Amino acid sequence: MKSDNLWYVITGSSSSGKTTLVAGLAAKGHHVVYETARVYIDQEMAKGRTITDIRSDEQAFQKKALEMKIEIEKNLPKNEIVFLDRAIPDTIAYDRLYKYPQNPLLTEALKTCSYKKVFLLEQLAYVVDYARIETKKQQDQLHHYLKEAYQELGFQIVTVPVLPPEERMQFILDNL
């Protein structure tokens, strides 16, 4: 799929090192967009809500994350290199994981989303943190669904091997 912008997606299953990698890119001065679901969780927890409250209606949670992704991507500069920690098509993988019908908002957004490349991070050992609710089995399924979704949409996927964080970052920068 041809891209009319300079955006690169960094995706992978839960606990694959996306947040660490994106933070490293930001520290080196690159324009990054942090994962909207995690940003939303942090905002809601700051208001006193628990992760259980926030994710009690998973379908509504996924819809909110999608709405945030759409709004962010709509306002990104097309002529600037931007690294996105997850992007609109990641929602396809989550819909498949939770067996939700595809949201019409997603269907519409997929018509215009565009990325130079998609960097799919190989899985690391699963680590539970404050924002994750997926199981190890779901982590494995999600990795499969992410790859499948981006392939079906025709995006160029570069698999990022398990390496120390600095080497992973350099691998991505070498493969832009």
Predicted confidence at residue 116, as pLDDT, reads: 96
Residues β-bridged to residue 9: 84, 118
| Size of the chain in residues | 176
Can you give the CATH number for the domain in which 83 is found? 3.40.50.300
User: d(Cα 44, Cα 123) in Å, to the nearest integer?
Assistant: 28
The answer to whether residues 8 and 117 touch, using CB atoms and an 8 Å cutoff, is: yes
Domain count for the chain, please give it: 1
Domain ranges, residue 166: 7-174
pTM to 2 decimal places: 0.92
1 part of a folded domain? no
Tokens 């404050």, residue located = 130
The answer to whether residues 145 and 93 touch, using CB atoms and an 8 Å cutoff, is: yes
pLDDT per residue over 114-151, tens digit each?
999 999 999 888 777 666 667 778 889 999 999 999 99
